[in-house]
Structure 1
Amino acid sequence: MDVIVAGADDDGLGTALEAEGASITRLEGVISRPQLENAGIVGADLYVLTDTDQATTIPIVCDLNGDLRTVVYSRDTVPEFVRGQLDLAVDPELVDAAVVAEELID
């Protein structure tokens, strides 16, 4: 499974996904459409966003890859404008990264 993790991965979901066998590409800072394309979003299976300040990337990745699953793993509230495009939003304080990774890979 090819996964793009966008944002600081302070809670370790990217690491947990790697432990489950996923191939991880990491993006940080202000993320643009060209960066997403260069990271391989068109062929990715999963997009994990850990920084809700970068929520505008969700519609972009959905536009670039209609088969992509989108996940927000953050303590912050997901903006209303992207909620309809998310497959899953999880608060790390409620569910451990290892549990989320296992469910996403299965």
Structure 2
Amino acid sequence: MDQTPAILPELQSLRNSIDNIDAAIVHMLAERFRCTQRVGVLKAENDLPPADPAREKRQVARLRDLAASAQLDPDFAEKYLAFVVREVIRYHEAAARELAEKSAG
């Protein structure tokens, strides 16, 4: 006997939840990047380097611990953070260039 019809309402419900979670993730990432953009401006204004390896190391350890406690693969969490940090540093470098160009001009 085919059980597909009985499974479909649950499947749709799960997909709806996934869609809601994806929307929440996008909004949280947007807020995170708004904050890191401000950090980039502050770093540029105060002549601080775009990257902070010591903080990044602490963040990796923190995220790995959080992932483990949430039953998420810590390697996946670290890869996520590495991607985000690369984007943040790219923005911080751009902010520093922009400030330098404004100061020179």
Q: TM-score range by the shorter chain?
A: under 0.3
* Larger relative contact order, structure 1 or 2 (CA cutoff 8 Å, min sep 6): 2
Rg: which structure is higher?
A: 2
Higher strand share: 1
Higher helix share: 2
TM-score (norm 2): 0.24
TM-score (norm 1): 0.24
